[in-house]
Amino acid sequence: MSFEFPLPDVGEGLTEADIVAWKVAAGDTVTVNQILVEIETAKSLVELPSPQAGTIDALLVDEGQTIEVGTPIIRFNGGESGAEAGSDGASETGGSGSDSGGPAEATSTEDADGGATLVGYGARTTSSKRRPRKGAPVPSPSAASAEAAPAPAESASAPGESAPGASSASTAATSPSPAASTGQPGPADPAAVPAGAAKPLAKPPVRKLAKDLGVDLSQVVATGPHGDVTRDDVRGAADQVSAPTSGATATSAASASDRGEDEERIPFKGVTKMMAKAMVDSAFTMPHVTEFLDVDVTETMAMVRRLKSTKFLGEDVKVSPLLIVAKAVAWAVGRNPRINACLDGDEIVVKKYVNLGIAAATPRGLIVPNIKNAHSMGLGELAQGIQDLTALARSGKTPPADQAGGTITITNVGVFGVDAGTPIINPGEAAILAFGQVRKKPWVVDDEIVPREITTLSVSADHRVVDGEIISRFLADVGRGLEDPTLMLA
């Protein structure tokens, strides 16, 4: 008896994920909680454990494919749990909830046979069999039309008559199924389907693919085993629609093909797509205002060098100028709490804690995890927090919780040799500070020009939440703390 395991909701409120790498192969024997596959959501990489012990019968999704939550990804052949815990016909309908577009909903850690399963995985404890449609017996390929467009026997057309609104000729021309010869409407003949008939049969991933490709499912010839539309059906219909119809179109396509070797196409998905959406939402909902300040950070840089050489914060703790900037931001927020706020409907919410976001460039794209309660941390704790956060971000396994709840953010553009920028505010916050590169420049000290280490700070803020005075005072305090770090000891 087989059991199909659907892609579960990993608790992020997301609807799809990419299959990154399979950790098992068909024929392998696995145990409960053994890692099956690594997936990438819009926020992080996640390893999915096995919901049961058994033998892998087949991998249902290829690496690199994007699928929706609820789509079956792997099939087990027997095992201690899974299919036995489902209802009658579970294997016929995907018993794991795949037909309903959602993951299995097991709420117990043991199945009916006593085998351990993961909470949220495994077969449903209640029946998952579909409610039969009127007049639709167990479907078969030849009865697909009855499932797609059921009609009471009393109102059936007489033999040889076509359905309302369609001629027999058009029915025969558009429907290759056996139903065409009987005069009954089939799933591939939308014109022959009576008003109020069921929608074309297709699983959620197939419907999404059709939407993405601009294909009308009612116009697609269904070849699935139960009269349902498959991915290949949708792609075939899309190819017919997009086929070149003129010499100019064909020439354009050929020209684009010739340029293919000189171009790189990067999938717009995952972290990159999520970041893009967040930035668009922020840029077009918040009136950004940006201020700049050149700061003499000679004392800050001397402090960083002392901390490095003495290893005062610990042997394995990495000390960088970003550490002192983070401390200065937390200190300046304490002096200007209004900057640490957000707009919630008709209220401005001023937060009395600092969850300090650090924008991190990773191989998967830009993410902004945050250090919780940074305002209460000493230099050692803050340094360790930044180090752990950065290492986890680069590994691509930052959990969603670490990216939620930020109150104010720092982006370190100086590490790339950039002096300043106009950063876009992280959604849900009111300000973001950009820290530019530190360079030696001529500076006036006590009416004399001397070489000093200088950086440029820039802060973008939501002008709905804070006015120019608050922004200016906050930026000036950050600069003051970096010019003389001893001020932050008070």
Active site residues: 463
Going by their DSSP bridges, the two strands 347-350 and 341-344 should be labelled as antiparallel
What DSSP line would sit under 158-219, residue for residue?
PTTPPPTT--HHHHHHH--STHHHHT---TT-GGGSPTTPPPPP--HHHHHHHHHHT--GGG
Report the side by side order of strands in the sheet with 66-68. Answer: 45-49, 35-40, 16-22, 66-68
Q: Which helix (H) or strand (E) holds 6?
A: strand 2-6
Contacts 24+ apart (CB under 8 A), 344-351: 348/465, 351/407
DSSP per-residue codes, 283-306: HHHS-EEEEEEEEE-HHHHHHHHH
Q: Distance between CA atoms of 241 and 99, rounded to whole angstroms? A: 29
CA distances from 197 to 157, 177, 188 (A): 15, 18, 13
Measured distance CA(142)–CA(130) in Å, rounded: 20
Q: Which residues contact 444 (CB under 8 A, 6 or more apart)?
A: 450
Residues 32 and 110 sit within 8 Å (Cβ to Cβ): no
How far apart are the C-alpha atoms of 385 and 400, rounded to whole Å? 16
Amino acid occupying residue 330: A
What SS3 class is residue 121?
coil
State the Cα angle at 478 between 476 and 483, rounded to 5°. 90
Strands 431-435 and 408-411: parallel
What's the CA gap between 269 and 149, in Å, rounded?
A: 37
- Round the CA-based radius of gyration of the chain to a whole number and report it: 30
Task: Report the amino acid identity of residue 151.
Answer: A
